[in-house]
């Protein structure tokens, strides 16, 4: 596949990076690490709503998954707590079902994130009985649930009907998870609600699979952004740290480490670009293969890049005061959620 970002997409990424550099999420997070899970800053939510990122995938904005990918990578690179992909996906789904809450969500007035059952355990169930719907079980871990006003649930019933329902977080139990990642909040929702007519919608068959592919792609993209930043930090450190009166970057072993990191980052980026293009396409088989190939490859590659960054940095990489420590923890959580590497390999084989 011959593909490159357009000038507009490059400019979009540069503009978002400039905003994130000015409003450094990691610097803002450090003083509150011991106070509880990371929260979404109101100023950041206002920014992504006002700039049109939240409504990017709606028909009015006409954005693509590739557009969202470059933004998601920048937020992963900066260690942002804002779930930009989830917010944009929620808007797309609300438009799909014609929900009246779309305008409030797009404007940032109401924070809504999508949630599904785990692709590996399937612990969220839907029972349709005439005009009523019962949703029960537990969602997969999701970021942003702690701050959300509503959660957009998508599930499949036993008869194959796929449904979507927008539920107030006050009507479900939100359980905050204690994870390695201290740059974002992670939680699951324990669900047991019965909804009447006009409180839920059926969606086209395949919507759930598409949503899971979106989440898998952008979870890996987030890790890619963090790995890209680790590469930059490692090259910079190798040029400054000296041993035997020479920069350690002049040693062949360290050069090889940095080269391997660069190769992994660029190859992962190419795979994820292919996945995003497939998400914008119409062939579900191509999409499944592209997404699982990218998620499996990038999941392992970014994790290896993180370990190599830690090795080159040595003891300083273990300290909480260094960004390397926080970004590694973020990558390790990304590696496990929305489909692990082993899950996507199995899925790729059977696709």
Task: Please give the CATH superfamily to which domain 112-203 belongs.
Answer: Butyryl-CoA Dehydrogenase, subunit A, domain 2 (2.40.110.10)
Tokens at 325, concatenated: 């420590």
Concatenated DSSP letters for 211-240? HHHHHHHHHHHHHHHHHHHHHHHHHHHHHH
Rama region for 183: left / alpha / beta (φ>0; ψ in -120 to 50; rest): alpha
17, 47 Cβ separation under 8 angstroms: no
3-state secondary structure of 61: coil
d(CA 115, CA 256): 41
Tokens at 236, concatenated: 């910079």
In this structure, the number of other CB atoms found within 10 A of the CB of residue 289 comes to 17
Length of the chain: 351
Q: In Å, what is the CA distance from 73 to each residue of 12, 20, 124? A: 12, 12, 29
Per-residue pLDDT at 2:
67
Domain 207-350: which CATH number of 3.30.1490.20, 1.20.140.10, 3.20.20.70, 3.40.50.300: 1.20.140.10
d(CA 24, CA 193): 39
**CA nearest neighbour of 329 among 218, 116, 206, 180:** 180
**CA nearest neighbour of 12 among 58, 64, 78:** 64
What is the model's pTM? 0.96
In Å, how far from its chain's centre is CA 310?
Answer: 23
What separation, in Å, do the N-terminal and C-terminal C-alpha atoms of the chain show? 20
Per-residue pLDDT at 1:
61
Our separate counts of H helices and E strands in the chain read 11, 11
Give the phi and the psi of residue 165 in degrees, each rounded to 5. Answer: -150, 135
Tokens at 23, concatenated: 């409003």
Domain boundaries, the chain: 7-106, 112-203, 207-350
Q: Is the sign of the CA dihedral 304, 17, 87, 47 positive or negative?
A: positive
**CA nearest neighbour of 204 among 155, 161, 154, 167:** 161
The residue assigned the tokens 């996906």 is 89
| CATH code of the domain occupying 7-106 | 1.10.540
Q: In Å, what is the CA distance from 240 to each residue of 114, 136, 246, 315? A: 44, 55, 9, 15
Q: Could you check whether 112-203 and 207-350 share the same CATH topology?
A: no
> Along the 351 residues of the chain, how does pLDDT read in single tens digits?
668 899 999 999 999 999 999 999 999 999 999 999 999 999 999 999 999 999 999 999 999 999 999 999 999 999 999 999 999 999 999 999 999 999 999 999 999 999 999 988 778 999 999 999 999 999 999 999 999 999 999 999 999 999 999 999 999 999 999 999 999 999 999 999 999 999 999 999 999 999 999 999 999 999 999 999 999 999 999 999 989 999 999 999 999 999 999 999 999 999 999 999 999 999 999 999 999 999 999 999 999 999 999 999 998 888 878 999 999 999 999 999 999 999 999 999 987
């Amino acid at each position: 596949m011959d593909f490159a970002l357009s000038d507009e997409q490059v400019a979009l990424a540069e503009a978002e990076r400039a905003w994130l550099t000015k409003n450094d999420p990691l610097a803002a997070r450090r003083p509150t690490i011991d106070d509880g899970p990371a929260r979404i800053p109101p100023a950041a939510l206002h920014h992504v709503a006002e700039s049109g990122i939240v409504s990017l995938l709606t028909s009015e904005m006409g954005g693509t998954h590739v557009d969202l990918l470059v933004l998601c990578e920048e937020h992963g690179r900066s260690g942002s707590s804002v779930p930009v992909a989830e917010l944009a996906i929620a808007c797309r789904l609300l438009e799909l079902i014609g929900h009246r809450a779309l305008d409030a969500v797009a404007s940032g007035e109401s924070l809504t994130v999508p949630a599904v059952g785990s692709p590996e355990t399937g612990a969220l169930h839907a029972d349709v009985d005439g005009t009523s719907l019962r949703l029960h079980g537990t969602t997969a871990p999701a970021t942003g649930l702690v701050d959300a006003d509503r959660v957009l649930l998508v599930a499949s019933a036993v008869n194959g009907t796929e449904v979507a329902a927008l539920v107030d977080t006050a009507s479900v139990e939100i359980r905050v998870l204690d994870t390695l990642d201290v740059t974002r909040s992670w939680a699951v929702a324990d669900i047991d609600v019965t909804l009447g007519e006009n409180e839920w919608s059926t969606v086209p068959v395949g919507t759930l699979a598409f949503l899971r592919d979106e989440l898998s792609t952008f979870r890996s993209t987030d890790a890619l952004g963090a790995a890209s930043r680790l590469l930059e930090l490692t090259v910079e450190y190798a040029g400054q740290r000296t041993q035997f009166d020479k920069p350690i970057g002049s040693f062949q072993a360290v050069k090889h480490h940095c080269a391997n990191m660069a190769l992994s980052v660029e190859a992962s980026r190419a795979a994820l670009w292919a996945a995003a293009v497939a998400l914008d396409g119409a062939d579900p088989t191509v999409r499944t293969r592209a997404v699982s190939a990218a998620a499996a490859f990038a999941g392992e590659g970014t994790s290896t890049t993180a370990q190599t960054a830690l090795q080159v940095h040595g003891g300083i990489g273990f300290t909480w005061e260094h960004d390397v420590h926080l970004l590694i923890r973020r990558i390790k959580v990304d590696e496990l959620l929305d489909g692990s590497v082993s899950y996507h390999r199995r899925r790729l084989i059977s696709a």
